[in-house]
Amino acid sequence: MPASRTPPPPPGLVIVDKESGPTSHDVVGKLRRIMGTRKVGHAGTLDPMATGVLVIGVERATKLLGHLSLDTKAYTATIRLGRVTSTDDAQGEAVADVDASAVDESAIRDGIAALTGDIEQVPSSVSAIKIDGKRAYQRVREGEEVEIPARPVTVSAFELVDLRRGDGVTDLDVVVDCTSGTYVRALARDLGAGLGVGGHLTALRRTRVGPFTLDHARTVEQLADAPGLSLDLAAAVATAFPRHDVDASAAADVGFGRSLPAAGLTGTYGVFAPDGRAVALMADAGELARPVVVLAPAG
């Protein structure tokens, strides 16, 4: 008799509390082994140095990743004033050192205030932004001079939590709440530049991305000891999207990719069958709602 195949895991999201060091792709590789499936992907990349919330989709929930509203993020971070680095963080080479041990606290707070709200920010030259089809960091590694134009971002909160003086430096513990596309290391760089002493990021922890927080998260080690989802497919959809419940007949139509009468909801929303299953993501288009992603295809 042929050997029985291990059934795939149920679909859903795993919210990982990433440690410092691995790339987001490294975490995906580990989750593939832990969850026993190749159908694993991530949303909202974290730099290797950073820790905290990384959203991972498993099985059919990978279809959600491109539609999740991850447009706001929250971080805790440590900024070191007094040193400029090639990458705007602690992983880069020191470019310049200036004594920042006596920078006035009120000037620091004024500098933080100037970087709060709707601002124009130039991303780090070693960011993953594509320039003519190639990542900026790849161009830097190849010796190119990279200039990235400023882009509008919103920093809804940038608050000083603690200040510590050291040998020629001042370390700032801060919390940041911002829109997607904001670079916290660029905030560190620009704060230091505005104060005339330079600055870079020494620690970064993402505490929230979209609706997903550290309360949902587990480390890779914890997941290896006890594999499992943070949110099953239905819970993931209900957490991330407005909910629209339909009857069994409408749920069956959606399973075949058919349209429904418009629900009167803005943007993409989750459609749920009477048994609680998330059957699709849909969006209104005039008088009809059309499937964006069918999550429970008709058999």
284 an active-site residue? no
Coil, helix or strand for 292?
Answer: strand
Alpha-carbon radius of gyration of the chain: 22
Q: Report the mean per-residue pLDDT for the chain.
A: 91
- Among 17, 47, 89, 177, the active-site one is 47
Domains and CATH numbers, the chain: 12-70+211-233 (3.30.2350.10), 72-207 (3.30.2350.10), 241-294 (2.30.130.10)
pLDDT confidence of 140, banded at 50, 70, 90? low
> Cα–Cα distance between 68 and 51 in angstroms, integer?
21
pLDDT tens-digit map of 149-185: 899 999 999 999 999 999 999 999 999 999 988 999 9
Inter-residue contact 81 to 169 (CB < 8 Å): yes
